[in-house]
């Protein structure tokens, strides 16, 4: 039922080969709907975090350029309809404490810690005591 | 005893491999997103640049968040791929705070 990825392009990235394009695209959208309904809290958290990061990014020079690109595009104008139908408008903006990039940066910074174990062991400290 | 050691190493390999797969997956998704944006929202193709209608705002900000995150992942991967002496060069905090050259930098990693 799921489209099978097939390596076809020059850069070697996997490419979805759709035999019955309409049906296969619907299957992917249904899969997205299923994921949102099955994991609503995670989906909401991810969505809100990316929206918050995007809002902050929009204040940078590069973010403004991207906003201009996106604002008048079919990707957004038509994409909003697809988005609302697919997500059933259940995803809302929220105020997350941490942006997705902050998670990625934190992950990378932790990998540079020496030694690593004392820091990680504090994740399991129920008291939250910082003392090592 | 040897079997335990082997199992430990296998577990360690699997764990590391999962991270590797996740990073590769993000790089692949980012490259795919780059191409999608180039195709569907090419630079300079809009008649009303910068005008975001209220009903489109959330989706635009969500996509901007993805772009910012893509820049951050690109910087992290670039940093990780650098030889050790160059790893401590001061860097920006993350994509949402500044991404002025992130687009070009990340494309350099992927292409």
pLDDT in tens, A23-49: 888 888 999 999 999 999 999 999 999
Residue A121's SS3 state is helix
Query: Distances from the Cα of B32 to the Cαs of A69, A127, B25, in angstroms?
Result: 17, 43, 10
pLDDT at A56: 92
Q: If pLDDT is split at 50, 70 and 90, which confidence band does A132 have? A: very low
The pLDDT tens digits of the residues spanning A105-115 come to: 888 888 888 88
Count of CB pairs separated by less than 8 Å, A with B? 161
Give the pair of three-digit tokens for residue B19: 């991270």
Give B43's contacts in chain A (Cβ within 8 Å). 65, 69
Chain B residues closer than 8 Å to A101 by CB: 68-69, 71-72, 94-96
Q: Are A59 and B74 in contact (CB under 8 A)?
A: no
pLDDT level of residue A6 (50, 70, 90 thresholds): low
Taking only the tens place, the pLDDT of each residue in B46-80 is: 555 567 888 889 999 999 999 999 999 999 888 88
| Residue B97, SS3 per DSSP | coil
- pLDDT > 70? residue A62: yes
d(CA B19, CA B87): 20
Which DSSP symbol is given to B98?
A: -
Q: What is the pLDDT of residue B111?
A: 35
| Preferred mutation among A99, A106, A110, A113 to probe B, highest tally of B CBs within 10 A | A99
Tokens, residue B18: 């999962």
User: Which of B73, B63, B56 is closest to A55 using CA atoms?
Assistant: B63
| pLDDT at residue B93 is higher than 60 | no
Tokens of A19: 């035999």
What pLDDT score does B95 carry?
A: 53
pLDDT above 90: percentage of residues in chain A: 27
Confidence of residue A54 (pLDDT cuts 50, 70, 90): very high
- Rounded to an integer, the average pLDDT of A1-18 is 60
Alpha-carbon distance of A97 to A109, in angstroms, equals 19
Contact B94 A102 (CB under 8 A): yes
Find tokens 């996106």 and name the residue.
A70
**At what angle are helices B2-40 and B57-81 packed, to 10 degrees?**
130
Looking at every residue in chain B, the average pLDDT score rounds to 72
8 Å CB contact between A4 and A29: no
Q: Do A76 and B60 touch (CB under 8 A)?
A: yes
């Amino acid at each position: 039922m799921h489209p099978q990825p097939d390596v076809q392009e020059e850069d070697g990235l996997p490419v979805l080969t759709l035999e019955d394009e309409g049906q296969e695209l619907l299957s992917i959208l249904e899969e997205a709907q299923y994921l949102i309904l099955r994991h609503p809290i995670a989906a909401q958290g991810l969505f809100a975090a990316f929206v918050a990061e995007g809002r902050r990014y929009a204040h940078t020079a590069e973010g403004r350029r991207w906003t201009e690109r996106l604002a008048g595009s079919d990707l957004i104008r038509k994409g909003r309809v697809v988005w609302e139908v697919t997500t059933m408008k259940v995803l809302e903006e929220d105020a997350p404490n941490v942006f997705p990039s902050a998670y990625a940066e934190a992950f990378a910074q932790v990998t540079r810690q020496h030694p690593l174990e004392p820091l990680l062991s504090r994740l399991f400290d129920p008291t939250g005591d910082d003392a090592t | 005893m040897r079997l335990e050691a082997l199992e430990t190493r296998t577990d360690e390999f699997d764990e590391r491999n999962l991270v590797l797969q996740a990073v590769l997956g993000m790089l692949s998704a980012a490259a795919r997103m780059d191409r999608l944006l180039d195709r569907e929202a090419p630079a300079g193709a809009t008649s009303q640049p910068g005008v975001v209608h209220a009903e489109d705002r959330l989706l635009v900000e969500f996509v901007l968040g993805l772009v910012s995150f893509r820049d951050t992942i690109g910087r992290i991967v670039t940093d990780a791929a650098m030889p050790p002496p160059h790893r401590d060069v001061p860097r920006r905090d993350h994509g949402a705070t500044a991404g002025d050259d992130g687009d070009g930098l990340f494309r350099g990693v992927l292409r």
